[in-house]
Amino acid sequence: MISIEDLSQISQTEREAKDAIPHQINVCVAASCLSLQSDKVKEALEKEVEARGKKDCCKVRGVGCLGLCAAGPLVAVEKEKVLYHGVTPADAPDIVDALGAGPVARIQGNLDAPFFARQQKIVLENCGRIDPERIEEYIAADGYLALVDTLTAMTPIGVVQQVTRSGLRGRGGAGYPTGLKWATVNKSQGTKKYVICNGDEGDPGAFMDRAVLESDPHRILEGMALAGYAVGAQQGFVYVRAEYPLAIKRLKLAIRQAERMGLLGASIGGTTFSFSVDLRLGAGAFVCGEETALIASVEGGRGTPRPRPPYPAESGLWGYPTLINNVETLANIPTILRNGPEWFAKIGTAKSRGTKVFALAGAITNTGLIEVPMGMPLREIIFDIGGGVPDGKAFKAVQTGGPSGGCIPESGLDMPCDYESLAKLGSIMGSGGMIVMDETSSMVDVAKFFMEFCMDESCGKCVPCRVGTAQMHELLRQISAGEATARELALLEHLCDVVKSTSLCGLGQSAPNPVLSTLHYFRDEYESKIAAGEAAAAGHAAAHAAPAGGAA
Amino acid sequence: MSSRPSAKPAAPAPSSKVKTLTIDDRLVSAREDESILDAARDNGIQIPTLCNLDGLTPVGACRLCMVEVKGSSRLFASCVTMVGEGMEVVTDSERLQKYRKTIVELLFSERNHVCAVCVSNGHCELQNLAQTLGVTHLTVPYRNPKLPVDASHERFVNDHNRCVLCQRCVRVCGEVEGAHTWDINGRGIGARVITDLNQPWGSSETCTGCGKCVQVCPTGALTEKGKSVREMSKRTRFLPYLTMMREDRSE
């Protein structure tokens, strides 16, 4: 049985081994850098180190996401605090030469830049620092300490109270108080209970959960085990989309490692608490991120939502009380229990505590993954951390919350980025995707793009979402092509209202949001398209009328 | 699809309490495990429905039975919302009428519902809804999809052009007949009812040929062969009877 002493023993051995080697070269091997062949860079560096007989004083490690995906592949030299960007295998000799002799200026990144300096990391604290494929490194970073400590020192309801006091809210998008959800499942009656980690990240441009699962999988397992203890569940499922093969591979490995060490499975830490985790792979349906559809999918059925209530907290997986939390929510848990809820509650704003991970994408210089305290103004996120819009183009809008969210124009950029403020702007926090658009983007086309996404991803169960999204997409196509008149625009607005108010699940209820927010802030763009359509229609009518007039 | 016991208990639990609520300004009482829809119908208040059918698990798919509940800006599908003490329900308002009409319009626009040449003309629930709700024409454009007709079964026809995806056939086959021949394939606007693993109905190995799906189908999608225009009328009365007899036996 693993104990606190065992954990600190592992941690000490690991740290000593690390300290014995003066130079650590960390190569990012998360999906984004891997797609730029960072594995080849790692190989080249390893060969170079070996060829020079520097194996005793230099170690090359694969680590998780370093954040600045735009400039990949990224390599960090740990103790010297040097970051190299855009590294190719040919740079390997120079990097090894430079160890202890000053960095290679040609490919050196600026770690003092706001992109790095302005972030505050809780969820991503281990990303880019530890090898995601070794449990020892997670333990050396105080991993599993919270779990083993909590199991022996706290009651389940005590854990729930800690989470409640931290003020953590669901990071999947809606911002439901996590402590309240845990308390509900804790109090629900059931002979069995389940914990599900929702890793079905599907918003276009969002890759926060992927990065966490690929860079620090043990954090999720620890969070799930703590959740299991708090609510009284012995079985957990991680629902990951099959499009994330690397995350799946690392999760599988992490589960096996944790089981071997007795950190998952029967009698964890010598207590009576048992908890196992299994993986379930999504088959590519966006709607399976909706909790009732996700449950149907885990059960082996067709992934379609069902009406709530009953909520999963009361009757979820196979009818048992089920706790469903997003990846990022669960990733916060170990740190909250390690550092205490008061520490966590000091970060962020009064109603939105803690930090939020955002995936910056679109027309932005520093495409990548960031974590900032809640309440940071959007302007700071986009222009200081994100480096603004590239190629000297002007900023037009930022889309948050994916297909359920909205577009925020320049005038909304000074609002603090928290759940309430984004809702006031007609968007939502969502899971953390942030797509920046420059002056060349047509907002009608943006709305059309998201509507096409919702139309394709609608499960087809309820009428307004199934047919309404298809009709709205056709109307947006006509407007975008300059074929529509004021009548089509009015119909579009009417359908937005119907689909929003009558759809069965969140997908349909929020599908009109991109249209509504672009109509609110960029109505002139719709109207100029309509004017073109009216002119064409008038011209058409005149052309028809002309021969008749000529004959008379 | 999985049937959920929690959605609608087959028999009233002995401990179920009685609630008093207001529906359209009328005080009514109902068991706590009854839906708003059932409570309304018990009191002669009609709420339009399409996917709902007595004897089948409600799924809340057609969204026509949505009602307003005082104190909430959200609308509730009355077939899957249980009654509550002191609830104030409004089943008919300008807003609800507007939404219901649009939903029926969306259904008509989705596929090729040409009543004049339909065997179910005059006996069709979709047609009835359109008449009741005053849908005289469509404001949304017709999509005119090209859809197949499966006439491979010796006694029945499946015409996708008339299907509204209410899932009654799927539910009656799975829940009552126990064959689970029907299911849904594809998603969104491309969803279709299928038999077995999307093979012709006539070659289905699970279909018992009982015809329950045909009788519960609200439109002319599933019909008997040999019927001409207006000749296909459905008999759904067997369903409450079957359900009642099964409940009796289980007690």
Nearest by CB: B191 against A466, A491, A494: A466
**Stretch A97-125: mean pLDDT, rounded?**
90
On whether both A298 and A191 belong to a single domain, the answer is yes
Nearest by CB: B63 against A456, A491, A504: A504
**Stretch A246-258: mean pLDDT, rounded?**
97
**How does residue A100 score in pLDDT terms, banded at 50, 70 and 90?**
confident
Tell me the per-residue pLDDT of A26-85, one tens digit each, with 9 for 90 and over.
999 999 999 999 999 999 999 999 998 888 889 999 999 999 999 989 999 988 889 999
Q: Look at residue A116 and tell me if it is in a domain.
A: no
On whether both A422 and A448 belong to a single domain, the answer is no
Q: Look at residue A295 and tell me if it is in a domain.
A: yes
CATH number at residue A308: 3.40.50.11540
**Stretch B186-202: mean pLDDT, rounded?**
97
pTM: 0.93
Q: How far is A526 from chain B (nearest CA, A)?
A: 19
On whether both A227 and A294 belong to a single domain, the answer is yes
Q: Which domain holds residue A261?
A: 142-154+170-332
Give the span between the Cα atoms of A217 and A195, in whole angstroms: 16
Strand partners for B76: B67
Residues on chain B touching A467 (C-beta within 8 angstroms): 106-107, 109-110, 189
Q: How far is B226 from chain A (nearest CA, A)?
A: 31
On whether both A86 and A147 belong to a single domain, the answer is no
Q: Look at residue A385 and tell me if it is in a domain.
A: yes
**Stretch A477-495: mean pLDDT, rounded?**
97
**Stretch B82-93: mean pLDDT, rounded?**
96
Residues on chain A touching B167 (C-beta within 8 angstroms): 461
Proportion of chain A above pLDDT 90, given as a percent: 87
**How does residue B249 score in pLDDT terms, banded at 50, 70 and 90?**
low
Hey, of A466, A474, A495, which one would you mutate to test binding to chain B, going by the most B CBs within 10 A of its CB? A466
> B110–A459: do the CB atoms touch at under 8 Å?
no
DSSP string, A174-198: T--BHHHHHHHHHHS--S--EEEEE
pLDDT value of position A550? 45
On whether both A372 and A276 belong to a single domain, the answer is no
Task: Give yes or no for a contact between B175 and B3, defined as CB atoms under 8 angstroms apart.
Answer: yes
Query: ipTM of the predicted structure?
Result: 0.93
On whether both A202 and A270 belong to a single domain, the answer is yes
Q: Look at residue A216 and tell me if it is in a domain.
A: yes
CATH number at residue A101: 3.40.30.10
CATH number at residue A379: 3.10.20.600
pLDDT value of position A478? 97
Q: How far is A229 from chain B (nearest CA, A)?
A: 26
On whether both A408 and A482 belong to a single domain, the answer is no
On whether both A201 and A328 belong to a single domain, the answer is yes
Q: Look at residue A88 and tell me if it is in a domain.
A: yes
pLDDT value of position A214? 95
Total CB pairs under 8 A between chain A and B: 111
Give the span between the Cα atoms of A162 and B192, in whole angstroms: 48
- pLDDT value at B9 more than 60: no
Nearest by CB: B75 against A302, A461, A501: A501
On whether both A360 and A321 belong to a single domain, the answer is no
Give Cβ neighbours of residue A490 (< 8 Å, ≥ 6 apart): none
What are the tokens at B246? 């099964």
Proportion of chain B above pLDDT 70, given as a percent: 92
On whether both A312 and A234 belong to a single domain, the answer is yes
Give the span between the Cα atoms of A408 and A398, in whole angstroms: 5
> A466–B165: do the CB atoms touch at under 8 Å?
yes
On whether both A375 and A312 belong to a single domain, the answer is no
Domain count of the fold of chain A = 4
pLDDT value of position A543? 81
On whether both A189 and A312 belong to a single domain, the answer is yes
Domains contained in chain B, CATH given: 19-92 (3.10.20.740), 97-232 (3.30.70.20)
Pick from A278, A299, A332: which residue ends a domain?
A332
> A495–B102: do the CB atoms touch at under 8 Å?
yes
Q: Look at residue A122 and tell me if it is in a domain.
A: no
Task: Give yes or no for a contact between A6 and A149, defined as CB atoms under 8 angstroms apart.
Answer: no
- pLDDT value at B250 more than 70: no
Residues on chain A touching B190 (C-beta within 8 angstroms): 460
- pLDDT value at B168 more than 60: yes
Q: Look at residue A317 and tell me if it is in a domain.
A: yes
Q: Look at residue A94 and tell me if it is in a domain.
A: yes
